[in-house]
Structure 1
Amino acid sequence: MQDTLYEMVKKAQNGDQKTLEHLLRLVEPKVTYAASKVPVQEREDVKQELFLHLMEMIQRYDTEKVPTLSEYIEMKKQRTKDNC
């Protein structure tokens, strides 16, 4: 069975280098696309900066504050109710 994104983030935070690399490969197409929007001579630098930022965000992401599905649904219901 494949790990969920949540499980992969936790593993990466605990020092699993292969999982961190896998996470970065998952977002590589989006990083490449974002970098394509800057001048050619800056693209590699931008990609490196984005990957560094992503690695920092993975380390800082608080997995303990991730709501369960039922909590998320309740939050969405409450927001919808508040906006009416």
Structure 2
Amino acid sequence: MVQETHRAAGLSADPANDILLSVEGLHLSFGGIKALQGIDLAVRPGEIYSIIGPNGAGKTSLLNCISGRYRPQQGRMYFNG
């Protein structure tokens, strides 16, 4: 069933190969403040993710890195390969 669904959507039979957004080991600091430390995530087509946490947890900093507004000091981000 999964393979049929993936084929119909134009995706490979292995969902691990269909990562739309990948974030690996993201680190972001502002002076002595460490906003992000080693953030990893992978989002596949059709998935919905949310970022939750208390004020000051780095939610907006993560989104700003993904959008290109901030440049992280370490880590990699890939969009659609």
Fold similarity call, TM over 0.5: no
Q: Which has the higher contact order (CA 8 A, sep 6+)?
A: 2
Identify the structure with the greater helix proportion.
1
Identify the structure with the greater strand proportion.
2
TM bucket normalised to smaller: under 0.3
Task: Please report the TM-score for the alignment, with normalisation by the length of structure 2.
Answer: 0.27
Task: Please report the TM-score for the alignment, with normalisation by the length of structure 1.
Answer: 0.26
